[in-house]
Amino acid sequence: PAGGPAAMAQARVLLTKEPAPQAVPASDLPKKVYEVALNTGPDSSSGLATAGFRTAKYLLPEWYQNNADLYHKAFTACEQAERGRTEAKELAEHATATAQRTQQDSVATLGQRLQDIHFWKAELQKEIEDLDAETSLLAAQKLRLERALDATEVPYAIATDNLQCRERRQPPDLVRDEVERELLKEAELIRNIRELLKRTLMQAGNQMRLNRDHKEVCEMDWSDKVETYNIDDKCGRYSNQSTDIQFHPSSVKFEESASTPETWAKFSHDNIYRAEREKLASINLRALIDNILHDVSEDLRMQCAAVNEAFAKHCEELEDTKHKLEHHLKKILKEIGDQEASMAALKQAIKDKEAPMKVAQTRLYDRSFRPNVELCRDEAQFRLINEVEELTESTESLKKKLLESEQSLRNLEDTRMNLEKEVAVKTNSIFIERQKCMAHRTCYPVVHKLAGYQ
């Protein structure tokens, strides 16, 4: 249907022909009262002598008077008829002009009404389109939230897997270090983020439902406006020459449930106001979702970087400790070799003292068979006894040193075993940190994905 200006133009076209005249009841004119002349005076026929001749006769003045009365009555009747015709013509012309003017006013009022309806219809249509577009944008943000929520599953699985893998570290490396604190912080952060995203998803779903509800209200109002516009446009196109017009006496009344122009305009205004309010709430929610997704992705990547940095630092410490342990193990192994060689030398030295001991003891034994006075405590006897004592003391010293060396060797062996075990523990820890944890963390989603764009 055409807009307001087109409706006014149509109204002017509709009023170019003169409307049909309508019947107006004629009002009764007052009657003129005339006095009848009486036969009185000297000329009246009241004598008794002529009573027989003037019984049924009028006097000449009476005849003239009667004719004059007839003339006067005829003139008055003509005058009244002419005045009546003039008044009827004027009344008919007035009624025709009034009907034409009121019809023009009605068409103009219908045209103005069409403009008002078109205005609110256009406002409602704009609001419906805006709400529909806003709902689509909010649906896209909701999809980003769902993608971001799905994307958090991988970081959470990585964090929990890292914690479980690090439980397989062997003592004494099974410590609550900085890496574990950062991993626990990461897992807690992801759990909080998932709860936040779920709550925001519910809020977005509720807002989309409110947007659709208010859009439906505006659509129903818009549909009523379209139907009303078509009806009023059809009414504005009616003319006195239309073939589909007829009498509807019962329509000349106001419906009890009819609205006033104020309540009519307020109804659409309130619908648009509520829709605008929900649209603004939806826009604010989209901005909030943008901020949430941005902050969430940044927080996750920053925490991921913190965990990776802690892993790298811990791996460097493990590597450094392992290298130091291997260096000490190498020295211990060399020391064990030297100690074993020393012990072999000590054993050989002890063995080497056996022959001199036998010689000295054999000499003493043989000299004990010297006869009589020859069994003398001479210098040679004292020297041989001192030699045996010296050899015995030396052998005891060597044996004592051998025992000390054996204990030292056992200590070295224990240290070697501990070092080898510790190197194996560090190797296992490095394997867990690098091959299990850090390798798994390479699958961490990028910021673009964590923000819900993929």
Cα separation, 16 vs 9, in Å, equals: 11
| Cβ burial, residue 23 (10 Å; 0-12/13-18/19+) | exposed
The span from the CA of 40 to the CA of 47, in Å, is 12
Of 186, 199, 116, 118, the C-alpha closest to 156 is 186
Residue 426 lies in a domain: yes
The CA–CA distances, whole Å, from 158 to 186, 232, 279, 304, 423 equal: 10, 69, 40, 10, 27
Q: Where are the beta strands (DSSP E) in 323-373?
A: none
Distance CA 258, CA 141 (A): 43
Residue 14: predicted pLDDT: 45
Write the CA distances from 172 to 93, 169, 185, 450, integer angstroms. 119, 8, 23, 37
Residue 444 belongs to a domain? yes
Query: What value does the CA radius of gyration of the chain take, rounded to a whole number of Å?
Result: 65
- What does the alpha-carbon distance between residue 441 and residue 454 come to, in Å, rounded to a whole number? 19
Parent domain of 70 = 61-92
pLDDT score at 257: 79
Q: Among candidates 273, 290, 159, 141, which has minimal Cα distance to 207?
A: 141
Instruction: Give the span between the Cα atoms of 362 and 423, in whole angstroms.
Output: 56
The pLDDT of residue 313 is: 94
**454: Cβ–Cβ under 8 A, 6 or more apart, which residues?**
147, 151, 448
Q: Which helix (H) or strand (E) holds 231?
A: helix 178-237
Question: What pTM did the predictor assign?
Answer: 0.68
pLDDT of residue 242: 86
Give the three-state DSSP class for 379.
helix
pLDDT of residue 51: 52
Q: Which of 9, 237, 7 lies closest to 118, judged by CA? A: 7
Tokens for 397, please give them.
Answer: 């010293």
Find all residues with CB under 8 Å of 221, minimum gap 6, and list them. 124, 267, 268, 271
**Helical ranges in 353-431 per DSSP H:** 354-367, 379-430
- Confidence at residue 7, expressed as pLDDT on a 0 to 100 scale: 44
CB-based contact 271:221 (threshold 8 Å): yes
Q: Domain end: 92, 109, 134, which one?
A: 92
pLDDT for the residue numbered 24: 45
442 inside domain: yes
Per-residue pLDDT, 115? 95
The series of mean pLDDT values per 10 residues for the chain, 454 residues long, is 44 46 51 54 52 65 91 94 93 92 92 94 95 95 93 93 92 90 95 96 96 95 95 90 86 79 93 95 95 93 93 94 94 93 92 92 91 88 92 93 93 94 93 91 85 78
Task: Identify whether 150 is part of a domain.
Answer: no
- Reported for 395-399, long-range contacts at CB under 8 A and 24+ positions apart, including other chains, are 395/350, 395/353, 395/357, 398/346, 398/349, 398/350, 398/353, 399/350
How far apart, in whole angstroms, are the C-alpha atoms of residue 346 and residue 344?
A: 5
Amino acid at 70: L
Whether the ω angle into residue 261 lies within 30 degrees of 0, i.e. cis, is: no
Instruction: Please say which residue of 48, 70, 92 terminates a domain.
Output: 92
- Tell me the CA end-to-end span of the chain in Å, nearest whole number: 46
How many distinct structural domains can be found in the chain?
2
pLDDT score, position 25 = 52
Last residue of a domain, one of 51, 73, 92: 92
Whether 293 contacts 148, CB under 8 Å = yes
- Of 199, 186, 176, the closest CA to residue 154 belongs to 186
Query: Does a structural domain hold residue 334?
Result: yes
Residue 271 lies inside a defined structural domain of this protein: no
In order of 110, 116, 256, the CA distances from 232 in angstroms are: 7, 11, 20
Evaluate whether residue 142 is within a structural domain.
Answer: no
Residue 116 CB contacts under 8 Å (≥ 6 apart), including other chains: 265
Residue 308 inside a domain? The answer is: no
